Structure 1
Amino acid sequence: MTADADEIVLSKQDLREVAAFAAACAEAVLGIFEADQPDDARPRDAIGAAWEFARGGERGKSLRDTASAALKAAKAADTAAAREAAWAAMSAAGAAYLHPLAKATQVKHILGAAAYAARAAELVAGDDPSVGAERLEHMVHHATPVVVDVLRRFPAAPSGGGRVGELIRMLDADLRSLAVTE
């Protein structure tokens, strides 16, 4: 059976690689949330669930539940940076649910955790965009060839989304150009 023209073929291994990339990005800023809310383990649990899936676990209730819990943790955060870090964790758990639809909006499942993490880092640095750009550059070098290949199956990231949307588009462009030159 062949896929429809509007459907992207994704293997479970593709989803695991995307989830691992997202978990690593979110984990890098987890301390920002934990400094704000030291007794709240919900974002850490979401990242843990993403890693579990990436390492061979099943895609199921734990990912959905921990992503939802991380979203609630974001709403309880006292600072914007902590909120963004919790959203990165939520996005990491949600990355396993990348839909095989040829829609630009799906790029957020691949790069959302990275963009929220970069935004959290910017905010901690006094809203310094150079910090976000530096974080994205680091992420480009840690994206596996599989993550880049999966990203390139989708249309480019859509417009909108404020600063996080801008960071997604920056990372999207950087990863796509990397794939062309390698």
Structure 2
Amino acid sequence: MILPAVRDPRLVSIRRGGTLTETDHRLLAVWAATCAEHVLPLFEESNNGDTRPRDAIEAARTWARGQAKMMETRAIGGHAMGAARPLRGAARFAAYAAGQAACVAHVPEHDLGAAAYAIKAVQAAAPRGKEKEAGRAERDWQRRQIPDSLRDLVLEDQARRNDICWSVFND
């Protein structure tokens, strides 16, 4: 589970009673798509004919540009997660990362789902004994991609939700 029992109002859109602006919501979607795309090859190398995760990443970006509806984007994310279900290991986690990225359009807090699943994908693909090192490297890469205006918010949210995100955001 990656969503908290109690929502942080800073990650709830203004129109739903929180303080997250539409601009920042869209930036979170782009960041989540970037995290998912970084590990997409881990899915595609063994599932090259299945475009659902790639489609979800593109849907997240299309929504972020204001060119797609939230419900359509969320549905495409669900299809990517459907691609993940029968799989194991890195490919499964990479597909889930893509699905989570598209679902940011619906619930901004899915951003950490995309990031956490991407880290799990890298850990699963790493040589035995190098999983933690690979995960930290991926986490650090992701953090360098966070838009400056959202950096503090995302880092605080990672600390707050680390325990429900498989502790992948630890040092």
TM-score by length of 2: 0.79
User: What per-residue deviation string (whole Å, max 9, x for no partner) do you get for residues 10-60 of structure 1?
Assistant: 121111100000000000111111112111111011001001112232442
1:24 paired to 2:25? no
**Aligned residue in 2 for 1:36:** 46
Q: 1:81, 1:153 → 2: CA distance?
A: 27
Letter in 2 for 1:16: R
Task: Name the CA shift for 1:143/1:82 in 2 (closer, same or farther; >3 Å).
Answer: same
Backbone CA RMSD of aligned residues: 2.4
Shift of 1:61: 2.8
Q: More displaced, 58-67 or 36-45?
A: 58-67
**Aligned residue in 2 for 1:102:** none
User: What per-residue deviation string (whole Å, max 9, x for no partner) do you get for residues 97-148 of structure 1?
Assistant: 236xxxxxx4xx2322111111101111135110010011111111012332
- The answer as to whether partners of 1:82 and 1:120 remain within 8 angstroms in 2 is yes
Which runs of structure 2 are paired with 1:74-85 in the superposition (5 Å)?
A: 74-77=84-87, 79-85=88-94
Q: Find the residue that maps to 1:166 and give its secondary structure.
A: coil
Q: 2:119, 2:21 → 1: CA distance?
A: 28
1:157 paired to 2:156? no
Q: Find the residue that maps to 1:10 and give its secondary structure.
A: coil
Q: More displaced, 33-42 or 118-127?
A: 118-127
1:71 paired to 2:81? yes
Letter in 1 for 2:113: G
What stretches of structure 1 move > 4 A for 4+ residues in a row?
A: 152-156
Letter in 2 for 1:137: D
**Aligned residue in 2 for 1:14:** 24
User: What per-residue deviation string (whole Å, max 9, x for no partner) do you get for residues 59-114 of structure 1?
Assistant: 4232121111011100132x311000001001100112236xxxxxx4xx232211
TM-score by length of 1: 0.75
Task: Give ranges in structure 2 of 5+ residues lacking alignment.
Answer: 1-7, 10-16
Shift of 1:154: 5.9
Q: 2:157, 2:122 → 1: CA distance?
A: 27
Residue identity over aligned pairs, in percent, reads 34
Task: Give ranges in structure 1 of 5+ residues lacking alignment.
Answer: 100-105, 175-182
Q: May I ask how many residue pairs the two structures share in their alignment?
A: 155
Q: 1:70, 1:24 → 2: CA distance?
A: 16
1:97 paired to 2:106? yes
